[in-house]
A and B are shown apart, each in its own frame.
Chain A
């Protein structure tokens, strides 16, 4: 599966004439290569399968480049430490899986509220609760988008390949810095533990985004002044732009306020930071012929099986399309909606009980038929299940057509 140009264009400063280095990497290893290329300087985390390799490898790599690594006492503390480090100027991240991700939710909200850039990697395993710790799933989609309390900004991206683990890690850290928000990279265990060849670009062509820094007289600095959907500059500890940061609703200077007007204004602003940039932020991939019989919607490792299914039918002269959301939030709803006039049947496949169904329904509208293929047993959705579902559906259509012909004859 090719890494889409839409993503590569955002990461590579130049694309021509550069020599890529081929590396055989595990998905979690690729995250490490990506975040280091993007300028990560701080990691705090707590061990949890299937994300632990990220912590283990960064514990080796960060001290060599004067970065900081700390294993905290739990995931709540890990989240607190990465926010603290980010306030002090670091590009920071943590990695976890379902149970730890649940513990992080309160402080993910804090990062959104207080506008602190940070990256959270949640390598999804089967839940709820301790679930199946070593088995893959996509059960954290809703938690990643809506997990913390209150209306909050977030960006969520789901890679399908080890190469995308690399490129999306860079992208996520860049988006976090640019928008001053928590960004969530959401691979499933299969992608985290797959090993594939990644074409790694030379570091000098990797686009790194750094948060804007304040300038001008400190006494005039308004750290949280709202101007449209513009992202303001961020001070850091040690500079002269001393100010207050809080998880309460705050005024232009960062001090608590109970003003209903400000609360509404700030909530809207925090959400609009992401939503107003939706068309720039959404990442997706599609392979849809002129006249597809059916379009599969799948993301993460499930899209890999879907890709195989598409080629299987192609060999038989049947055209099945594939639409793959890469950002799950903002969701590429406009882009998916454009496919609705081109096909009447859509199959949404997920390794969960249907967490993306409503978003997909809303994007496609009611003129098309949507069926869902869901599986939450810890096993990957096998291509055979896709094929059975598609053949069954085709049989249903043929039967209906025959019945229609019979009634009109």
Chain B
């Protein structure tokens, strides 16, 4: 466990509370984990830019005291790309949801991963569109219920982490809001990785996903996360049959690959005076 030297509460814009999230929503746990990671890494608030899209998760940016930008639906990563390129000294973190990042913003996600630009993307995966009241997302599990999948979802979901790795992300991890102590470590590692980093966090939406899928209480949703999550270490001992329907948790992938903005900086030297 990281020992934060600063109280993460100092990074909250308390004058902007109460937040809009429902009782039992997992978003606060993820936001708390991010603030603990920032405290542990001793980042200067002036050097942190948090960029979000649209959706419940993306409201996180408004509650924290950094350079925060709440953008348009699906477009947080392009905005973040512009910020990082023009101000490479900024630590740029994207806060997004499964719908925001994997549906409307899916193309930006894979291309940023391909470039390996130094952004940290935290995906609040609640398996559903929460803000618009419970429609199916690209992360909604097969046969789960949503207001646009009342007979059960007939579409298979993305494996967000596999997708990130395949597209070129150099740090990929998955956590849950149940495994709350692990989250700041995963997020801090993601920020430290000089490249495109993805942390998918499974989190509960009792109001919509929970209600529609008969796991309505926040406690049940946390228990669900515990039961479907398997640590990478434990998973090594399980058969593919035993792993069916499970989500691997922890650091799933790490590699070293040239980072986009650093490569661009070298371009200056190559073409200078040409």
Q: Using CB atoms and an 8 Å cutoff, list the residues of chain A in contact with chain B.
A: 41-42, 44, 63-64, 66, 68, 70, 72-74, 76-90, 92, 106-107, 110, 236-240, 242-248, 255-256
Contact = CB atoms under 8 A, between A and B. Distances in A.
A77 B111 contact: yes
A80 B206 CA distance: 32
Listed residue (B49, B69, B90, B272) with the most chain A CB atoms within 10 angstroms of its CB: B69
23 contacts: A68-B85, A72-B111, A73-B107, A74-B107, A78-B78, A80-B71, A80-B78, A80-B82, A80-B108, A81-B81, A84-B79, A84-B82, A85-B82, A87-B67, A89-B86, A92-B86, A106-B72, A237-B67, A245-B70, A246-B62, A246-B69, A247-B71, A255-B16
Contacts of B71: 80, 83, 110, 247
A78 B81 CA distance: 10
Interface stretch (B171-179, B236-244, B263-271): B263-271
A68 B268 CA distance: 10
5 tightest A-B contacts by CB? Answer: A84-B82, A80-B78, A85-B82, A84-B79, A81-B82
A255 B62 contact: yes
Contact of A88 (B16, B70, B78, B90): B90
A102 to B, nearest CB: 15
A86 B67 contact: no
A355 B71 CA distance: 32
Contact of A240 (B46, B83, B107): B46
Interface in B157-214: none
Contact of B89 (A41, A76, A238): A238
Listed residue (B16, B62, B107, B272) with the most chain A CB atoms within 10 angstroms of its CB: B62
B1 interface: no
B272 A77 contact: no
Contacts of B31: none
Given A63-B267, A64-B274, A83 B68 contact: no
Interface of B: 16, 45-47, 49, 51, 61-62, 65-72, 75, 77-83, 85-87, 89-90, 107-108, 111, 264, 267-268, 271-274
Nearest to A245: B69
Nearest to B52: A246
Listed residue (A41, A89, A92, A247) with the most chain B CB atoms within 10 angstroms of its CB: A247
Contacts of B49: 88, 237
Nearest to A256: B62
A68 B264 contact: yes
A242 B67 contact: yes
A44 B49 CA distance: 20
A77 B78 contact: yes
Contacts of B65: 242
Listed residue (A73, A76, A84, A107) with the most chain B CB atoms within 10 angstroms of its CB: A84
B104 to A, nearest CB: 10
Given A68-B86, A244-B62, A81 B79 contact: yes
B118 to A, nearest CB: 14
Given A42-B82, A237-B90, A245-B70, 11 more contacts: A42-B85, A74-B107, A80-B108, A82-B82, A84-B80, A84-B81, A84-B82, A107-B72, A242-B65, A245-B68, A247-B72
A64 B70 contact: no
Contact of B70 (A63, A78, A92, A244): A244
